A and B are shown apart, each in its own frame.
Chain A
Amino acid sequence: MADRPDGAGETGHNKPALSLHVPEPRYRPGDTVDFSHLNIPEAGAQARPDETCDPKDMGALAYDLVRVLGEDNKAHGPWNPNLDAETLRTMLGHMAMVRAFDERMFRGQRQGKTSFYMKCTGEEATSVAASMALASDDMVFPSYRQQGILIARGYPIVDMINQIYSNKADKLKGRQLPIMYSSREHSFFSISGNLATQLPQATGWAMASAIKGDSRIAATWVGEGSTAEGDFHSACTFATVYNAPVIFNVINNQWAISSFSGFAGAERTTFAARALGYGLAGLRVDGNDALAVYAAQRWAANRARANAGPTLIEYFTYRAEGHSTSDDPSGYRSAQEREEWPLGDPIMRLKNHLVAIGEWDEDRQQAMDLEAAEKVKAATKEAEKNGILGHGMHHPFHTMFEDVFEELPWHLKEQAEQATRERQIKWPQGGGPKT
């Protein structure tokens, strides 16, 4: 190069040395947490543009934080969805059920009833309130922490547990990791372990709906860490190019397993702001404010239904628990973070709101929590009759070879016969492996 004669790059040059920035979270184990750097605006202070507006005219909302529930537990501002008390109580009930379910399944994993579980503690609103803002036949393409959608859509809890136990009643025939549900009946797409793959798929589904002149839209969820995947960018491009009726929900829960959001680029801009470069509508929303979540999702759904285009919503929230039962967050983050999270707990905030408007009280809350725990307990007992993981009560083993293709080809037939022979040798009395 002209400015670098031979040897100049080796030693003694007079240019400043370049340095690489490796992001580091603010707090590690043992650190005292201080979230005062976060800009938490007043509830109700954010403008609510028309649902058909040009994304260029709402750019500020990609950096702001849409909030409805204030410190006074009242709903404020133009994003207040003005839901009736019955709907709010239903929402609270679903969120309480999700938490009760998570608690029980986490314990079930620790008791050896299954291999794996993932809680969504602190993020319940981002699935429950969002799905309540959609039509029941809108297609959802969830990630792995949206159990709240199934609960809100009335999927039987016992079927969720059957799937988690991979038992003989598991509708997925024991093929998927626990929590990777699928239900066509509930317009709930099969969950993949490969991250962000559901985003182009949701876009394709939405495009198909538009091609066929349908009225159903698609919504998809992804963690903020997975926005670094190529699939996210492919999906944003396709969605904007074809004006697909799709909603991208980015759950910014601050942590991608043990990597903080900085490794997905959070130090430079918001995740909602990713929308701007694509010409998508972008909203940044308080993810622990169930009313704001509902309002944003409803806004985006109306926009999509009006053929006004796709929306990317960042729900700013906090993963109060570990990534999964295989993860120990005490190894990488301050234990204080959870307690100090300035946006509170989504269930408590909604509960306090209902109390503040005179539609709820502590007794009813306690009764509701108890009822949720009892329901989950009863469902667990019911599911256990169908077996728990590793205790032999699973789908007939030949189902292993089914559904790879629509019809069984010769090579899978041969392999199934081989497996049958092996099984007869290993377990001549029938049955299967016991652990």
Chain B
Amino acid sequence: MSTDIETKNASQAAEAGERRINMIEAINDALDTMLGRDPDVIVMGEDVGYFGGVFRCTAGLQEKHGKTRVFDTPISECGIIGVAVGMGAYGLRPVPEIQFADYIYPGLDQLISEAARLRYRSATDYIAPLTVRSPFGGGIFGGQTHSQSPEAIFTHVSGLKTVIPSTPYDAKGLLISCIEDNDPVIFFEPKRIYNGPFSGYYDKPVEPWKKHKDSVVPEGYYKIPLGKARHVTEGEQLTVLTYGTMVHVAEAVCREKGVEADILDLRTLVPLDIEAIEASVEKTGRCLIVHEATRTSGFGAELSALVTERCFYHLEAPVERVTGFDTPYPHSLEWAYFPGPVRIGDAIDKILKD
């Protein structure tokens, strides 16, 4: 459906004079679009109804679509996700919100043991087509319980898809794909870039999304397929594999250093666009992986292993990882934790040295 819009890129849309919105508005737009298109779509979560969510992602949706389509829930992540599994088994397409990714752990059993395995264990008798939305990542002075990036926990689970947008255009198109997907999806929203593409300098003002080419978001329905990475920049010197907030930080560092990098925004970690990764590393021969999550057993470890296994003879330098540290996210020292321009710059220098 709407393949003409799917293939249209943001700059073409801009030329057509279309609107520019931020990521929160794009997510709201995706939910609004799907609530309007499909009577089986349900939006639920703590504070998502009348108030419209702590980040305002669901603002106005209850008023427009009604209280039984968009509603508040008890503070019970286990309940929110478990109830969504039952709704999915009935035939609805629930889009539960977990207010912060750090709070998802009480609901993990329902996601990991139930939602992710329902299709398999019932031999397709039942499916759980839910999309769990959750803001994640740090850089907002959220302390250790409002800043985590737990994506690796979910990528380790058979039967779950993990999706992370980095622009308003992608956020809308990917979220619509997630809602229409018949598998359970976890959709992590990088909250540091809800309002603008953060470049990694905490002491510089963040440009609003409306100045960015990827803030042009078409009205109505369009989809970005899951499992397809986005080329942020094309270059020959090295490949940067990244996602979420770090896409913009890595892009800014490469621009400042004058490095011509092939930056891939992975967009979906499961399913992963292995073809794009292989093609890029084979072209550049050097690979940097950047994510905000803690290092040990993070998704960067999986990426590094894949690149080493599949592109070893094309590599001219060891694969490098830039990540958060293996500590909880410290409140007052969050900029020391954050994998910012210095850490990324050092890694780039190291990779390019040989």
Q: Contacts A175-B121, A208-B91 hold; do A201 and B182 have CB atoms under 8 A apart?
A: no
Looking at the complex, which one of A182, A192, A207, A410 makes contact with B123 (CB distance below 8 Å)? A182
Taking the complex as formed, is B90 at the interface, i.e. its CB lies under 8 A from any CB of chain A?
Answer: yes
Indicate if the CB atoms of A405 and B79 lie closer than 8 Å. Answer: no
Indicate if the CB atoms of B109 and A194 lie closer than 8 Å. Answer: yes
Closest beta carbon of chain A to B162's beta carbon, Å: 12
Residues from chain B with a CB closer than 8 A to the CB of A182 are 121-123, 125-126
Chain A residue nearest in CB terms to B72? A241
Chain B residue nearest in CB terms to A216? B90
Q: How far is the CA of A209 from the CA of B68 in the complex (A)?
A: 11
Q: Contacts A192-B114, A211-B92, A405-B161 hold; do A184 and B125 have CB atoms under 8 A apart?
A: yes
Chain A residue nearest in CB terms to B118? A190
Residues from chain A with a CB closer than 8 A to the CB of B85 are 200-201, 204
Chain A residue nearest in CB terms to B73? A238
Q: Which residues 224-275 in A have Cβ within 8 Å of B in the complex?
A: 230-231, 234-235, 237-238, 241
Q: Contacts A192-B113, A201-B114, A204-B84 hold; do A404 and B120 have CB atoms under 8 A apart?
A: yes
Q: How far is the CA of A202 from the CA of B87 in the complex (A)?
A: 9
Chain A residue nearest in CB terms to B109? A194
Indicate if the CB atoms of A183 and B124 lie closer than 8 Å. Answer: no
Q: Which of B83, B89, B227, B271 has the most CB of A within 10 A?
A: B83
Q: Which residues 53-76 in B have Cβ within 8 Å of A in the complex?
A: 68-69, 73-74, 76
For A179-222 the 0/1 string (1 means CB < 8 A from B) is 01011100001101010010111111111111110000010000
Residues from chain A with a CB closer than 8 A to the CB of B121 are 172, 175-176, 180, 182, 190, 192
Indicate if the CB atoms of A234 and B118 lie closer than 8 Å. Answer: no
Looking at the complex, which one of B81, B82, B84, B109 makes contact with A235 (CB distance below 8 Å)? B82
Looking at the complex, which one of A173, A189, A208, A235 makes contact with B79 (CB distance below 8 Å)? A235
Residues from chain A with a CB closer than 8 A to the CB of B73 are 238, 241
Closest beta carbon of chain B to A401's beta carbon, Å: 10
Q: How far is the CA of A237 from the CA of B74 in the complex (A)?
A: 7
Residues from chain B with a CB closer than 8 A to the CB of A141 are 86
Taking the complex as formed, is A86 at the interface, i.e. its CB lies under 8 A from any CB of chain B?
Answer: no
Indicate if the CB atoms of B79 and A197 lie closer than 8 Å. Answer: no
Indicate if the CB atoms of A208 and B113 lie closer than 8 Å. Answer: no
Indicate if the CB atoms of A231 and B42 lie closer than 8 Å. Answer: no
Q: Which residues 25-77 in B have Cβ within 8 Å of A in the complex?
A: 42, 68-69, 73-74, 76
Indicate if the CB atoms of A403 and B123 lie closer than 8 Å. Answer: yes
Q: How far is the CA of A183 from the CA of B158 in the complex (A)?
A: 23
Indicate if the CB atoms of A406 and B110 lie closer than 8 Å. Answer: no
Indicate if the CB atoms of B271 and A199 lie closer than 8 Å. Answer: no
Indicate if the CB atoms of A190 and B125 lie closer than 8 Å. Answer: yes
Indicate if the CB atoms of B89 and A189 lie closer than 8 Å. Answer: yes
Q: Which residues 2-39 in B have Cβ within 8 Å of A in the complex?
A: none
Taking the complex as formed, is B317 at the interface, i.e. its CB lies under 8 A from any CB of chain A?
Answer: no
Taking the complex as formed, is A364 at the interface, i.e. its CB lies under 8 A from any CB of chain B?
Answer: no
Taking the complex as formed, is B183 at the interface, i.e. its CB lies under 8 A from any CB of chain A?
Answer: yes
Chain A residue nearest in CB terms to B226? A409
Indicate if the CB atoms of B159 and A234 lie closer than 8 Å. Answer: no
Indicate if the CB atoms of B87 and A205 lie closer than 8 Å. Answer: yes
Taking the complex as formed, is B347 at the interface, i.e. its CB lies under 8 A from any CB of chain A?
Answer: no
Q: Which residues 110-164 in B have Cβ within 8 Å of A in the complex?
A: 110, 113-114, 118-127, 158-159, 161
Taking the complex as formed, is B78 at the interface, i.e. its CB lies under 8 A from any CB of chain A?
Answer: yes
For B270-309 the 0/1 string (1 means CB < 8 A from A) is 1110100000000000000000000000000000000000
Taking the complex as formed, is A377 at the interface, i.e. its CB lies under 8 A from any CB of chain B?
Answer: no
Residues from chain A with a CB closer than 8 A to the CB of B90 are 139, 204-205, 208-209, 212
Q: How far is the CA of A119 from the CA of B91 in the complex (A)?
A: 33
Indicate if the CB atoms of A404 and B92 lie closer than 8 Å. Answer: no
Closest beta carbon of chain A to B76's beta carbon, Å: 4
Looking at the complex, which one of A172, A204, A404 makes contact with B83 (CB distance below 8 Å)? A204
Closest beta carbon of chain A to B207's beta carbon, Å: 36
Q: What are 20 of the A-B contact pairs (CB < 8 Å)?
A: A139-B90, A172-B123, A175-B121, A182-B123, A182-B125, A184-B126, A189-B89, A194-B114, A205-B90, A208-B42, A209-B90, A212-B90, A231-B82, A234-B74, A235-B82, A237-B76, A237-B79, A404-B120, A405-B119, A406-B181
